[in-house]
């Protein structure tokens, strides 16, 4: 599910409720509190706590997406599911404006605890986001989801061509569409204000499809936003089909400065976009606070590198190829 299902503010994804810039040190703390070494030009004022979390509470997923390196990545996981004490630790330590995306490279609806986790987050004033294929969204799950405190539901659907969709996701499109239609109908009957999106990743095998027709189908269902995020290669079987390098030459990265991705083991990944970084965690919330796991020397160094020399100075970004939005 993860990777290109995610987006940037430019694509309209929800931001944290409030301004996280400047949210960093507590009163009385200094950079030395975290053992951090900064470049010659102070950049602390430009670094802030994560705007959102991507939390993987289970490694399960019924899809076998051709563009996803998940089968290889999850081999390193010790926990099949994230311990509840670890989720409680995250919620207890969040004391700044942010939201939680309850998935990473998994299907969140495989974990029946997810509804309770979102209710707990909501009680703390933390916004909830969930991205799903919709394949597992039965009537009972739809009811529980809409009453869980979720704010945004994103359906990741890559094509309306059934054979092509099955080729990509290894799931039946007819069941997915039936579930989405039933969910939207139930949402309308209950008067729910949950925001519903559909995300169509721009894949090499689907770039010929009409965006207008795709948008029309879901708009007529009542979906509030249809988006077409870029496809970035991350180690999946579809990598060889994409084109030339597409990393922009810019001196900032939304993801390394805003997204805190946490695995079922509690490992924190520095770059949530590229599979090459996923087996090299920089910290663990199992033995460090959220702040300590976020403000690492590795993150400081990478942000400094990107800001001073641009994204292409980072090896994983420089080698990234794919299709633009």
> Which pLDDT value is given to residue 318?
59
Q: Which residue has the higher pLDDT, 15 or 95?
A: 95
The mean pLDDT value for 61-82 works out to 85
**Residue 146's pLDDT is what?**
96
Domain spans of the chain? 9-323
Average pLDDT over residues 53-60: 95
Residue 242's φ and ψ, nearest 5 degrees, are -90, 180
- Give the pLDDT confidence score for residue 34 in this predicted structure: 52
The mean pLDDT value of the chain amounts to 81
pLDDT bracket for residue 26 (50, 70, 90): low
Q: How far is CA 122 from CA 63, 71, 91, 102, in A?
A: 28, 32, 10, 13
Q: What is the pLDDT of residue 3?
A: 40
Please provide the CATH number assigned to the domain covering 9-323. 3.20.20.70
- Which residues, other chains included, contact 157 with Cβ-Cβ below 8 Å and sequence gap of 6+? 133, 134, 165, 176, 180, 198, 199, 200
Largest Cα separation within the chain, whole Å, is 60
3-state SS, residue 55: strand
Out of 169-178, 210-219, 266-275, least confident range:
266-275
- What is d(CA 262, CA 269) in angstroms, rounded to the nearest whole number? 7
């Amino acid at each position: 599910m993860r990777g290109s299902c995610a987006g940037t503010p430019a694509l309209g994804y929800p931001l944290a409720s409030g301004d996280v810039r400047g949210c960093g040190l507590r009163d009385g703390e200094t950079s030395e509190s975290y053992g951090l070494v900064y470049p010659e030009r102070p950049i602390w004022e430009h670094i802030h706590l994560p705007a959102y979390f991507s939390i993987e509470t289970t490694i399960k997923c019924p899809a076998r997406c051709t563009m996803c390196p998940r089968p290889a990545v999850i081999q390193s996981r010790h926990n099949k599911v994230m311990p509840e004490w670890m989720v409680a630790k995250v919620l207890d330590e969040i004391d700044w404006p942010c939201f939680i995306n309850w998935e990473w490279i998994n299907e969140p609806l495989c974990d029946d605890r997810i509804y309770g986790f979102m209710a707990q987050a909501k009680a703390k004033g933390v916004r909830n986001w969930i991205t799903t294929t919709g394949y597992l969204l039965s009537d009972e799950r739809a009811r529980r989801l809409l009453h869980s405190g979720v704010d945004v539901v994103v359906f990741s659907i890559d094509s309306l061509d059934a054979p092509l969709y099955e080729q990509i996701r290894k799931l039946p499109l007819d069941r997915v569409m039936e579930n989405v239609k039933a969910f939207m109908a139930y949402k309308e009957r209950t008067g729910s204000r949950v925001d519903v999106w559909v995300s169509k990743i721009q894949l090499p095998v689907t770039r010929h499809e009409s965006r207008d027709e795709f948008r029309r189908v879901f708009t007529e269902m009542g979906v509030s936003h249809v988006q077409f995020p870029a496809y970035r290669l991350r180690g999946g079987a579809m990598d060889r089909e994409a084109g030339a390098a597409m990393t922009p030459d810019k001196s900032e990265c939304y993801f390394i400065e805003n997204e805190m991705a946490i695995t079922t083991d509690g490992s924190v990944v520095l770059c949530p976009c590229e599979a090459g970084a996923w087996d090299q965690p920089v910290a663990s919330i199992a033995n460090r606070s959220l702040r300590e796991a976020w403000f690492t020397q590795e993150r400081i160094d990478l942000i400094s590198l990107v800001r001073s020399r641009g994204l292409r100075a980072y090896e994983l970004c420089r080698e990234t190829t794919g299709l633009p939005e």
